[in-house]
Structure 1
Amino acid sequence: MPVLGWKYNMDNIQAALLVGQISRIEQLWQKRDRLWRLYESELSSVKGIRILKTLPGLKHARHLFTILVPPETRDTLLWRLQEKSIGVAVNYRPIHLLKYYREKYGYTEGTFPVSEEIGSRTISLPLYPSLTDEDVLYVVKVLKEELG
């Protein structure tokens, strides 16, 4: 991130798609929630995976299903999942290590060690309304094999 700013680049086609989805927002959330709960139930006992919890009384957007794995295995695990056609990503990196914050504020590695530790452990698993239970179970199977 070279400059500080906001990402508001919705074009007309995206806006038209959004209008069609707004009326189905609860239905789409329900699908994501069901898949989320399947991930939770299947991964809760897997050694090496920590599932982030939603605080009681809150409704999570169910936008990304992010897990924490040991930092020494995270990048290899990402690679292996991608090799098996599983769309995983690292969505949460320590923002103080982005170019803008390094240059503007002089932040360096070690400035926020907790942020860095969490950032080195995150993997976002596939989560979208058209994902099937079988897809989730395949992701879980591969994770179990790789963390074995």
Structure 2
Amino acid sequence: MTGGPEPISAEARRALEQELADLRDERRLVAGTLKSDTEVGDQADQADELQRADQLDRLDRRIGDIEERLRGASEAGPAPTDVVGVGSTVTVRFTDGSQETLQVGEVAEALDQTMVTADSPLGRALLGCRPGDSVQYDTPDGHTGVVVVSIGDTPGED
């Protein structure tokens, strides 16, 4: 990665915007349960208040991180379509002939099977490639390769 603002895909932007909305809702709920200093009773109440205050701090940090990432993505502009970069959608053909469309991102979501991180072996191999390029990379099962078929949205996608 370049160290500067990196673009993100439209899908990743939507996911971050949804997470941000959810976090803001959760923050409003948690903040509404906090009591003023004069209302806090026994030690159990105080411990509960401290937990909610810690939860607010965690929510505020994540909200700030997402807002910063979205600002950076806006500064970076759209993901490149001529060369693979962070935020690119890239279709690759594996050595067995199968094709898969992947997103090159910063952080893979646990359940997102189409995301590869830019610092993973495949992600690093793809960065800077153009359609038609063949790249080799290491996997836990050994050395393998892919051919970059296309960059950008797959046909029929918005």
TM above 0.5, yes or no, is: no
What is the TM-score when the length of structure 2 is the normalising length? 0.29
Which gives a bigger RCO, structure 1 or 2 (Cα 8 Å, sep 6+)?
Answer: 1
More strand by share: 2
What is the TM-score when the length of structure 1 is the normalising length? 0.30
| Bigger CA radius of gyration | 2
More helix by share: 1
